[in-house]
Amino acid sequence: MAESRTSSPAAILSQASLVGSVVPNVRLYSDVDPVVILSSATIKQNLLNSSTAWLIQFYSSWCGHCIQYSPTWKALAGDVKDWEQAIRVGVLDCAQENNFDTCKEFGVHFYPTFRYFKARSPTFDVGQTNRGPDRELQTVRQLMVNFLQNHTKQDWPPSCPPLEPSSAEKIFPLIGQKSNQYTAIIVEKDDSYVGREVILDLMMYQGLTVKRALSSDKSVVEKLGISSFPSAYLLHPNGTHAIFHVQKRLRFFFSSFLKLLPGVYRTQSTSGATQQPFLKGPQGPGSSEAWKDFEKSKVYMADLESGLHYLLRVELATHKTLEGEELNTLKDLVSIVAKLFPGRQSVVKLLETLLEWLVSLPLEKIPYDAILDLVNNKMRISGMFLSDQLQWVGCQGSRVGLRGYPCSLWTLFHVLTVQAARRQRDALANTGLENNPKAVLQTMRRYIVNFFGCQECGKHFEEMAAESLPEVNDLDQAVLWLWRKHNQVNGRLAGTMSEDPHFPKTQWPSPDLCPTCHEEQDGIHVWNEDKVLVFLKQHYGTANISPKYLRSSSHLEALATKGVPKPNQEMLGAPDNSKFIQGNTVAPENARLHANPAKQSDIEGAGKADTWAHRDIRPGVSFLGLGFSSLDMSLCVVLYAFSCVFLMFMCFFFRVRSKTWKVRHNRPYV
């Protein structure tokens, strides 16, 4: 049996030490790491009267041990990222010339040196040095908890919740009482850190209070009916209460369960401002888009088709003409989607027709109008249709402008990587990409660079791809690579303004979806990547894609033939149209113009849906962008029919005349 793959910190550490020995001049920490990079100009102003405590590593970029320890320090900072309103993790490079005097002033003689700095310090302080020999991540994290508890009431970080255990006198009055939030009680042994770590993990979340109690408090244990430790007891806002069960009694499982409770949402880490909680119902004033109930264990075809619609009719529309790398990227993208998309036959037929047209057209430049005409099926080919409705289901946001298209694009490429891995050799047959395990990822990379509306997002994705995409050697690795990078992006965007408070950007899959994907080594959460791969292939497989909320393609085709407004180039593609492209941010919900809603019965369990408003299509509109009008095409058809009749008549005429000539000139032999 093959050895199970886990993304352990030890493995990362060994890889980093090899990299450090080969490229010693590379900066150990960068802006993309979850640490605060300090300098002589910023360290004192950050420490003086700080609202948080600090743990700072003074290091030297030429120090071999510092190089080897840097992955552990980054992992620690990422592990306690949600604690930043209580204690922050920073670094200062003493090997930089402008930091020499600062390191001397702080009395740093050896590297790395760890210093703790208390919150609310009104005067200069060189900090408290950690002299312990054990610098493993779990040990340092627990020392951070101890250091926080050493604060007095006067210097306690204002945003840090209480960490001391609650007594029976404080817990019993809460049981059975209605409240406007949840209360979770972690009951643990005296030497356990799980309760305090979960409290700090949830400190940036609203709608929930976390307390801890000790197993030595027999009255609490008996009252709550707890027999094993650590355990968690949950008091609901409606007054009900019970033990909540997790698959594994680990900090990560407790924290993940509580973060996903309905009504629990995250505050923004940058400003401390609170986002509004999710309200189930219409998504904004004047919106006819009703909330659609969905299962988070499912993938929805409505999201995939909506993503394709937005990609082909909106995002490509910002390019009036496609040529060179842009045209090649589009051809490869359509090739991959046409081959791998597990959708309805009408959509697949449209993609295959578009692919055949792109490949057969011997042009170095193609106007976008031509592509749009084909996507809108101006030729009225039967059984070929892609809805022009935005129908977010699993990708719907709690407010307008959240999630939507970026979510559907991630989902689409996850589905494509899984389809390629499942079908192996015949997945991309006859495309020129069949022997390339990175074909889907490379095409995604090129699409994001050339077409994705958020330039900053594209820049970050390109950096990730340049760093590690060459390491992908087979189709299974491609599936896992995209999953890792998606989680990396979630970690970077967690707590920012782009995060939907009802759908926090956590590491996925969560323990409730895949408990076997999560493990713990030396107190650190790690992924079992073999289990993750199995889960991804099941989750994004064809059998798990739900058709719920899909509109009937035959019904939509009928509406189209009756003159229901369709999107045209001016409404969907004008680059200077601020209603659709605002700055560098893709905002699909804001790009909608509400017109005549479809009937309620057209959507299974959904509210009324919007249609795209536009001007009527007039005679003389270019056909496939090649300069032919609909009148021209009608005349061509008439001329073609007349030519066929004329040729048949001439053929018949000459055949009869030939027979007459043979009879007239025939001379029988004697």
Report how far residue 250's alpha carbon sits from residue 198's, in angstroms, rounded to the nearest whole number. 10
Among 163, 19, 141, 27, residue whose Cα is nearest residue 80: 141
- Which H helix or E strand runs over 241? strand 241-243
Report how far residue 621's alpha carbon sits from residue 623's, in angstroms, rounded to the nearest whole number. 6
Beta strands at 581-582 and 36-37: parallel, antiparallel or unpaired: unpaired
Report how far residue 168's alpha carbon sits from residue 212's, in angstroms, rounded to the nearest whole number. 11
Contact criterion met (CB below 8 Å) for 51 and 12: no
Query: Is 454 annotated in the active site?
Result: no
Q: Which of 66, 407, 457, 517 is catalytic?
A: 66
Beta-strand ranges (E) seen in 86-166 are: 87-93, 113-117, 128-129
Query: What are all long-range contacts of 142-150, with beta carbons under 8 Å and residues at least 24 apart?
Result: 142/193, 144/55, 144/80, 144/83, 144/87, 145/193, 145/196, 145/197, 145/200, 147/53, 147/55, 147/87, 147/116, 148/53, 148/86, 148/87, 149/196, 150/118
> Alpha helix (H) ranges present in 579-629?
none
HEC sequence for 471-524:
HCCCHHHHHHHHHHHHHHHHHHHCCCCCCECCECCCCCCCCCCCHHHEEEECCE
Burial of 177 (0-12, 13-18, 19+ CB in 10 A): exposed
Burial of 12 (0-12, 13-18, 19+ CB in 10 A): middle
Query: Is 66 annotated in the active site?
Result: yes
User: Which residues are designated catalytic?
Assistant: 63, 66
